[in-house]
Copies of this chain bind each other. A is one copy, B any other.
């Protein structure tokens, strides 16, 4: 079983965190069945943490967890903090295949999407 975990920064504003969880739910609805579980987790300021989010996926039956950092810029959070927490989860759950993807902002397709948004 395969899970997708969307990892966002986390906000003091509950509505922002709920927005991320709603996005995970939306992905679960529109996906074509590649993932058995799609959930969200937060780097800081909100729950669940990244290791807890990965564990939730595993508790739901996942043997493979794909982690997608929902960040636009490759700052310290993307370069250091998220990988450290993913490594921590890997150490805690050595039997689970955990893959950290590049952050969303690194996607080449984002530029096309932006032009589309701008009506170009």
Cα(A102)–Cα(B112), bound, Å: 16
State whether B113 touches A109 (Cβ < 8 A): yes
**This chain: how many copies in the complex?**
2
- Of the residues B11, B15, B31, B114, contact of A6 by C-beta under 8 Å: B114
Cα(A107)–Cα(B115), bound, Å: 12
State whether B13 touches A75 (Cβ < 8 A): yes
A92 at the binding interface (Cβ < 8 Å): no
State whether B118 touches A4 (Cβ < 8 A): yes
Q: In whole Å, how far is A103's beta carbon from the nearest beta carbon of chain B?
A: 9
Cα(A20)–Cα(B111), bound, Å: 11
State whether B120 touches A31 (Cβ < 8 A): yes
List chain B residues, Cβ under 8 A from A75.
11, 13, 16
Cα(A66)–Cα(B119), bound, Å: 10
Of A27, A74, A102, A110, chain B has the most CB atoms within 10 Å of the CB of A110
- Of the residues B13, B74, B115, contact of A76 by C-beta under 8 Å: B13
Bits for A3-24, please: 1 = Cβ < 8 Å to B, else 0. Answer: 0101010010101100110010
